[in-house]
Chains A and B, each alone.
Chain A
Amino acid sequence: MSALATPPRDPRAPLPGPRRTKARDSASSWPLRDRIGLALCWGAGITLTLVAGSVLLYMCFKGITQLRPAMLWTHPSSDVDQSQTGGFLDPIQGTLMLTTIGIAIAVPIGVSVALWLVEYGRPAPLARAVESAVDIIAGSPSVVLALFGLSFFSESFLSWMSFHAEDAAFGRSFMIAGTVMSLIALPLVVGATREALLQVPNHVREASLALGKTKASTIRAVLLPAVRPGIATGTALGMGRIIGDTAIVILLLGNTLTIQPRDGAAPVVGLLQGTGSTLTSYIYGNSPTGEGNAPEKAYAAAFVLLLIVVALNALATRIARGRGKDTAWIR
């Protein structure tokens, strides 16, 4: 009667799990190449974590030791005396303005492109051409796009977008840099929106049509709300790209230390036609290779930039994780 002899189980005790071979015992029976492969996978992951961690820690250490709060609200100025060169208020404002302009252009266009590709996409050759165009933009280095933008926006018929004399345009302004910036965010918005649209099962579209709705109102009332998290993810990723880009700022924003609105223009228009800099170009300028040669300022600005980018990444991850909770159809 051994069954009676065993004491009754404590109901609160965790149930014994299923029998499992220990990971180490299992791996020791693997062929050598699989064990090497497994070791490499572990090693790669851990190394990457270490690299990312050390970049973050180093920049945090450098940044925190160099950053003075006053830098966040002082205008920069060029001076031989390092203590007189101020902070980086203008680059922060420049970064925010440029991101806003770029996203404001990229999101509507990107969402429209994705909607057309997924919901219409006919004729097929045109759809393939559009896809290739998005891929080409995504694959082009931003400095190439910037170089193209410089010659394109210097054309006299576009002179209203920047400083201009009688017959020549300067070809550098917030408006111009923002327009080219929208190109580097565009593929990310298109991609995220497209993925989200493809996740919506076809029978959901048909359900709306079966209620006597047109395709247009189906897109507006059903599909756009369903892909809103996808659009948000693409937007956050695109913002990260714009904030991090340097080449376009240096070539197309004039790279002036302070924000210089165009003289004699209406306030906002003048700002858009004016030049300035961003945190990235400020870091470049102040780094040991740049003309400013004030590495401590570069570190402080890099720290602020890193904080913005990490915050944006966290936002994008959260949005992407939240997706699916409220839009989980049975497929």
Chain B
Amino acid sequence: MPPPPIRKISLDAPPTVVHVPPVPLDGNGNGHAGPAGGVHTPGPPPSEAPVLERMRCDAVTIAYGPKVAVNRVDLPIAQGEVLAMIGPSGCGKTTLLRSLNRLTELTATASRGGRILLDGQDIDALEVTTLRKRVSMVFQQPNPFPMSVFDNVAYGLREGGSKRPRKKELMEPVERALTRAGLWHEVKENLDHPALRLSGGQQQRLCIARSLAAQPEVLLMDEPCSALDPISTAKIEELILELREQIAVVIVTHNLQQAQRVADKVAFMYLGELVEYAPGEQLFNAPQAQRTRDYVGGAFG
């Protein structure tokens, strides 16, 4: 069976039924048309912003104790495009993502080799708080803080978690961040409500707004839609495509269709190694490596 055709979920379009062309059968009577085998799937529309390299992994190796989770990975991360990291569970993609803003340092046993550069500067040379303000992260589970919607977004703008500056001065950047995250119209009446009363999808967009408020240069997203319903997922995917114009976006996803819908570049990782890094359309339609072909064709993972 070929996988069902992929289409972007459009919220206001009338429901449509996509005609599936009959699949040519091979000698064994099996359909043979994985994504690698002929059905051409388009990627996201090309970005209008110029592509500009912001980060670079240079032979990055990360180990938890003796166990190597990421093995000598070289990877560029550019503004103006979305990089998706795909691969089976435990292949090191989340570890690599977390190392980009040094969250791996929170794990006592983790150690890192190689260099990670942000605008040509080694991130180890940066103050960790400065680095994380520039390279922000959105997590798998929506995790707003136990405070109001407004305070959640303002949190990143206030130094040291204090209540200053006051609400009035912060209203403008908070509104801007919520608007960018596509949440402003849903919460503008309820900025004082506890953030944990929002729905899961709203919470996740609030977390994105919270990250955007501090104006990061790189946004890391660790399976941001895996806990969400399809409509919330569609909203966040639209948001990702808008964000890539101004910042570099890296997204880890288990969902190959999602990677196809949002990613300009896709990195396929397997057992800690970067197997293939290519434009999304090429990686899904004409993968070079056998392991990539097997994975995107659904042979394992």
| Segment of A152-160, A185-193, A220-228 in the binding face | A220-228
Contact partner of A210 (CB less than 8 A), chosen from B136, B142, B160, is B136
B210 and A211 within 8 A (CB): yes
Question: Is the C-beta of B290 less than 8 angstroms from some C-beta in chain A?
Answer: no
Question: Across the interface, which residues of A come within 8 angstroms of B160, CB to CB?
Answer: 213-214, 216-217
Total A-B pairs, Cβ < 8 A: 88
Please name all residues of chain B whose beta carbon is closer than 8 Å to the beta carbon of A318 when the two chains form the complex. Answer: none
Given contacts A212-B131, A327-B146, 15 further A-B contacts (CB under 8 A): A203-B139, A204-B143, A210-B101, A210-B103, A211-B132, A211-B155, A212-B214, A213-B155, A217-B162, A221-B145, A221-B147, A222-B145, A222-B146, A326-B146, A330-B142
B139 to chain A, nearest CB (A): 5
B15 within 8 A of A: no
A34 → chain B closest CB, angstroms: 41
A to B CB contacts below 8 Å, 8 in the list: A204-B143, A206-B106, A210-B137, A211-B136, A213-B132, A214-B160, A327-B146, A329-B143
B279, CB-defined interface residue at 8 Å: no
Q: Which of A201, A209, A226, A328 has the most CB of B within 10 A?
A: A209
Q: How many residues of B contact A (CB 8 A)?
A: 32
- Please name all residues of chain B whose beta carbon is closer than 8 Å to the beta carbon of A226 when the two chains form the complex: 145-146
Question: Once the chains are docked, how many angstroms separate the CA of A221 from the CA of B197?
Answer: 19
- Taking a contact as CB atoms under 8 Å apart, the answer to whether A203 and B132 are in contact is no
- Do A208 and B145 have beta carbons less than 8 Å apart? yes
The answer for the CA separation of A260 and B139 in the assembled complex, in Å, is: 60
Compute how far the CA of A209 lies from the CA of B106 in the bound complex, rounded to whole angstroms. 10
Complex CA–CA separation, A179 to B211 (angstroms): 45
Mask, A309-331, CB within 8 Å of B = 1, is 00000000000000000111111
State the 3 A-B residue pairs at the shortest beta-carbon distance, nearest first: A221-B161, A217-B161, A212-B133
Which residues of A are found within 8 Å of B132, using beta-carbon distances? 209-213
- Set of chain B residues within 8 Å of A287, measured between Cβ atoms: none
Would A204 and B196 be within 8 Å (CB), given that A210-B132, A213-B129 are in contact?
Answer: no
Q: Is the CB of A203 within 8 A of B133?
A: no
Considering the complex, give the chain B residue whose CB is closest to the CB of A221: B161
In angstroms, Cα B140 to Cα A209, docked, is 15
Within 8 Å by CB of A218, from B101, B142, B161, B211, lies B161
Query: In the docked arrangement, what's the CA distance between A211 and B161, Å?
Result: 11
List chain B residues, Cβ under 8 A from A212. 129-133, 136, 156, 214
> Scoring A residues 288 to 308 as 1 if CB is less than 8 Å from chain B, else 0, what string do you get?
000000000000000000000
- B residues within 8 Å of A by Cβ? 101, 103, 106, 129-133, 136-137, 139-143, 145-147, 155-156, 160-162, 194, 196-197, 200, 207, 210-211, 214, 227
Tell me whether A329 and B156 are in contact (CB under 8 A): no
Q: A201-B141, A213-B129 are in contact. Are A207 and B207 (CB under 8 A)?
A: yes
Q: Which of A201, A220, A329 has the most CB of B within 10 A?
A: A329
Residues of B with C-beta under 8 A to A327: 146, 196
Most buried by A among B142, B147, B161: B161
Task: Give Cα A203 to B155, complex, Å.
Answer: 16
Could you tell me the distance between the alpha carbons of A216 and B159 in the complex, rounded to whole angstroms?
12
User: Which residues on A sit within 8 Å (CB–CB) of B131?
Assistant: 212
- Given known pairs A206-B106, A217-B160, A218-B161, the reply for A211 and B143 (CB within 8 Å) is no
| B-chain residues with CB within 8 Å of residue A220 when the two chains form the complex | 161
A221: chain B residues at CB < 8 Å are 145, 147, 155, 161
List, in ascending order, chain A residues with CB within 8 A of B143's CB. Answer: 201, 203-204, 207, 329
| CB atoms of A225 and B146 under 8 A apart | yes
A209 CA to B141 CA, complexed, in Å: 16
Which of B129, B194, B197 neighbours the largest number of chain A CB atoms within 10 Å of its CB?
A: B129
Contacts of A206 in B (CB 8 A): 103, 106, 137, 139
In the assembled complex, which residues on chain B have CB atoms less than 8 Å from the CB atom of A326?
Answer: 146, 194, 196-197
Note all chain B residues with C-beta closer than 8 A to A222.
145-146, 161
Q: Contacting B129 at CB < 8 Å: which of A201, A214, A331?
A: A214
- Chain B residues lying within 8 Å of A203, measured Cβ to Cβ, are 139-141, 143
Contacts of A207 in B (CB 8 A): 137, 139, 143, 145, 207, 210
Option from A201, A216, A330 in Cβ contact (under 8 Å) with B200? A330
Q: Contacts A206-B106, A207-B207, A220-B161: A330 and B133 contacting too (C-beta < 8 A)?
A: no
Known: A222-B146, A327-B146. A211 touches B214 (CB 8 A): yes
CA distance A220 to B146 in the complex (A): 12
* Chain B proximity of A39: nearest CB distance (Å): 44
A204 contacts across to B, CB distance below 8 A: 143, 145
Chain A residues whose C-beta falls within 8 Å of the C-beta of B103 in the assembled complex: 206, 209-210
- Taking A222-B145, A330-B200 as contacts, is the C-beta distance between A211 and B156 under 8 angstroms? yes
| Residue of A whose beta carbon sits closest to that of B140 | A203
